[in-house]
């Protein structure tokens, strides 16, 4: 069983490529599917795995049968991507189905064990479960003795301070601040904007200025990608799904890269992938040696005075990135 909280799909792709354990995921018989969850993380992950298996691996490995993969996306709520408009969630569902992902909604995962998962009373046998159902906030509410929401986030006032403690501020994922009757989402933009707001507020207080007006979140929009050339986008009143949204997604992500060289490199790699369906990076790695092979190498090493060490470094040297 794999228990992952990472959203970084590039890393996930890498993990699937390099870790022999994960290879089984791609070759698993139909009765043993992997399962994930239907927020943006689960949707993006399911799309990436499906595409990796059905397109990239299928064209590069003669003995790999893409139909042997079964991928189930289990979502407890009535639809995937609850933070997006219903039409966009429907478009993403259609795209996932096209990629061969089975999307189950109203399907809460009730337990996960070594044999697989139980989804709404049904046992699904699998060795590979990708858990993407969210994270728990830090226990700051307990330390502060402050009121918390169901996720353990500190309920803060409109200036991000803790009730009855104007000198204590909580921002980002650890804070629960309601706007328009709904708590702000646990996303980076909320954390960044709250951090800046509180920074300015404290600086102002130190200079003896009056406190600014309450914090107001400026929503720059939502994006989620499904596979190589498809994304859903909701920003500034525009709702769209498809290649244009994917271009915006790519632009936004490249913008956030720190170095110009990284931006150019990433742009080139993504353009190559989009146009050719080929990935520029290849990791060629040998499978874990069997216990017999290890014993044989150790035995030979004893007899040949250090050759075992050399053969080990040879093996590592052949792990090549092209
Ligand atoms: C898998 C995943 C994918 C995500 N994808 C997106 C996305 O695509 N877009 C988006 O906008 N948001 C995304 N988010 C949400 C986003 O990462 C968070 O909302 C954002 O990082 C919150 O910022 P923060 O500063 O509140 O917390 P964090 O970024 O988590 O920073 C908290 C820091 O405090 C440190 N820390 C924790 N406890 C202590 C302690 N006791 N003492 C000292 N330091 C401590 C931690 O190590 C960490 O460095 C994602 C989150 C996850 C988990």
Q: Which atom of ligand 1 is nearest to the CA of 188?
A: 11
- Residue 71 CA to ligand 1 center (angstroms) comes to 28
Rounded (10°) CA dihedral 52, 288, 3, 227: -10
Q: Please count the CA atoms within 13 angstroms of the CA of 264 that sit on its side-chain side.
A: 3
Q: What is the homologous superfamily of the domain 140-206 according to CATH?
A: FAD/NAD(P)-binding domain (3.50.50.60)
- The pLDDT tens digits for 66-125 are 777 889 999 989 999 988 999 999 999 999 999 999 999 999 989 999 888 999 999 999
Looking at residues 177-199, what average pLDDT do you find?
Answer: 93
Rounded (10°) CA dihedral 138, 143, 147, 150: 30
- Residue 103 CA to ligand 1 center (angstroms) comes to 28
| Torsion-angle region of 171 (φ positive above 0: left; ψ -120 to 50: alpha; else: beta) | beta
CATH fold for domain 9-134+223-276: FAD/NAD(P)-binding domain (3.50.50)
279 phi, psi to nearest 5 deg: -100, 145
Q: Please give the C-alpha separations between residue 144 and each of 7, 163, 173, in angstroms, as whole numbers.
A: 30, 11, 16
**Mutation test residue for ligand 1: of 40, 48, 142, 186, the one with most atoms within 8 Å of CB:** 186
Q: Which residue is associated with the tokens 């936004």? A: 252
Q: Please count the CA atoms within 13 angstroms of the CA of 190 that sit on its side-chain side.
A: 17
> Among 174, 223, 185, 183, which Cα is nearest to 40's?
223
The pLDDT confidence band at residue 186, using thresholds 50, 70 and 90, is confident
**Ligand 1 pocket, residue 189 CB under 6 Å:** yes
- Residue 188 CA to ligand 1 center (angstroms) comes to 7
What one-character DSSP code corresponds to residue 185? P
**157 membership: H or E segment, kind and range:** none
Report how far residue 257's alpha carbon sits from residue 264's, in angstroms, rounded to the nearest whole number.
Answer: 10
Looking at residues 185-202, what average pLDDT do you find?
Answer: 95
Which class for 78: exposed (0-12), middle (13-18), buried (19 or more C-beta within 10 A)? exposed
- Residue 215 CA to ligand 1 center (angstroms) comes to 20
- The pLDDT tens digits for 265-320 are 888 888 887 777 776 666 666 666 667 766 776 666 555 454 444 444 444 334 33
Asked whether this chain's domains 9-134+223-276 and 140-206 adopt the same fold, the reply is yes
Q: What Rg, from alpha-carbon coordinates, does the chain have?
A: 24
Q: Per the structure block, which two tokens stand in for 165?
A: 């403690």
184-212 as b/e, with b when 16 or more CB fall inside 10 Å?
Answer: bebbeebbebbeebbeebeeeeeeeeeee
Structural domain boundaries of the chain? Answer: 9-134+223-276, 140-206, 291-321
- The pLDDT tens digits for 32-52 are 455 555 688 899 999 988 888
Report how far residue 304's alpha carbon sits from residue 52's, in angstroms, rounded to the nearest whole number.
Answer: 43
Which candidate in 44, 51, 75, 234 is catalytic?
44
* Least-confidence region, from 126-135, 221-230, 231-240, 299-308: 299-308
Q: Which atom of ligand 1 is nearest to the CA of 132?
A: 1
Q: Per the structure block, which two tokens stand in for 253?
A: 């992500």
Q: Which atom of ligand 1 is nearest to the CA of 134?
A: 53
Looking at residues 155-181, what average pLDDT do you find?
Answer: 95
**Mutation test residue for ligand 1: of 7, 8, 218, 234, the one with most atoms within 8 Å of CB:** 7
Note if 51 is an active site residue. Answer: no
Report how far residue 63's alpha carbon sits from residue 51's, in angstroms, rounded to the nearest whole number.
Answer: 17
* pTM for the full predicted model: 0.72
Residue 27 has pLDDT above 60, yes or no: no
Helices (H) and strands (E) in the chain — how many of each?
11, 17
For residue 36, the model assigns a pLDDT of 56
């Amino acid at each position: 069983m794999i228990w992952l909280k990472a959203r970084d799909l590039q890393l996930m792709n890498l993990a699937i490529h390099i870790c022999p354990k994960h290879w089984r995921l791609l070759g698993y018989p139909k009765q043993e599917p992997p399962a994930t969850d239907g927020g943006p993380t689960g949707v993006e992950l399911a799309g990436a795995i499906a595409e990796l298996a059905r397109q990239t691996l299928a064209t590069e490995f003669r003995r790999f049968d893409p139909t042997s993969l079964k991928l189930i996306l289990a979502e407890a709520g009535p639809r995937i991507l609850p933070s997006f408009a219903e039409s966009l969630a429907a478009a993403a569902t259609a795209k996932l189905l096209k990629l061969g992902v089975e999307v189950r909604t109203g399907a809460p995962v009730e337990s996960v064990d070594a044999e697989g998962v139980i989804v709404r009373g049904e046992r699904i046998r699998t060795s590979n479960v990708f858990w993407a159902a969210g994270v728990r906030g830090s226990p700051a509410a307990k330390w502060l003795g402050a009121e918390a929401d169901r996720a353990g986030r500190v309920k803060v006032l409109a200036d991000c301070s803790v009730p009855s403690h104007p000198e204590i501020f909580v921002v980002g994922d650890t804070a629960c601040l309601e706007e328009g009757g709904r708590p702000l989402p646990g996303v980076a933009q909320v954390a960044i904007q709250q951090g800046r707001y509180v920074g300015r507020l404290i600086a102002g207080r130190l200079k003896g200025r009056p406190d600014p007006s309450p914090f107001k979140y400026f929503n720059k929009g939502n994006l989620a990608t499904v596979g190589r050339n498809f994304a859903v986008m909701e920003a500034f009143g525009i709702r769209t799904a498809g290649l244009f949204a994917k271009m915006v997604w790519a632009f936004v992500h490249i913008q956030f890269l720190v170095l110009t060289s990284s931006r150019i490199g990433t742009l080139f790699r993504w353009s190559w992938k989009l146009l050719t369906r080929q990935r520029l990076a290849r990791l060629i790695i040998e499978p874990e040696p069997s216990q017999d092979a290890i014993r044989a190498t150790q035995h030979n090493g004893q007899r040949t005075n250090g050759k075992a060490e050399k053969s080990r470094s040879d093996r590592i040297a052949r792990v090549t990135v092209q």
